[in-house]
Structure 1
Amino acid sequence: MAKLLLNLRNVLEDEAADVRAFLEENAIAFYETRPSRWGISHGGIWVENDADIAEAKRLMAGYQKQRQARVRAEHEQAVRDGTAETFADVVREQPLRVALTLLAIVFLLGLVALPVWLLHH
């Protein structure tokens, strides 16, 4: 019976391509499900054979450790170089999104505080 190896929710395309590549290199049979039309399922990469599941998980663990180390090193280098994205960069690039997010936060805080305010007045 097939087992899910990687849920594709919030997975970057290069990461999914790397997973496909190491499964193919190691001759592990897999198939991929695509995201559903309504966003209920985000798709996944499935290992077909039960006998390959342990090896696929071992390879996946090694890949994730390697990727984590590489991405952290890239981020640390970007911070040292001053090229890492900051909040100010996000505000400059997407001011409407930031403003709407802040308004939503204020609105939700108001909803949380409303019962307390009503009970005291």
Structure 2
Amino acid sequence: MDITTAIDGTRARIHARGEIDSHTLVPLRAAAAALPPQVTDLQWDLTGAPFMDVAGLHLLFNPAMHDPELRVTVTGLGRQPLWLMRTAAETNPDVFNLSRLLPCAPSARTQPAAS
């Protein structure tokens, strides 16, 4: 996992490259925890993360990220991570609220590509 953090005033962007799983969850959480207190807008850029298991849901829907002072969004979702997030949201929309992370989420369910 390669993690790059860019901070511009109150905005931060964390770019993750590699698979998001239980082994990469700890360094990803550490990157978010290391942000300075003035950051009020965090964007997870997952352009380079083609696969995400349930650990990605734990990362993105972490109650600590629900701070009303911190706006968290996700960009660059591939088919499989988007499918996982949408499936979780369909299963439990109260816990996995996509409108917070993906304000422009597509309305049709996206399926991962067949192998």
Q: Indicate whether the TM-score tops 0.5.
A: no
More strand by share: 2
- Please give the TM-score of this superposition, normalised by the length of structure 2: 0.25
Larger Rg: 1
More helix by share: 1
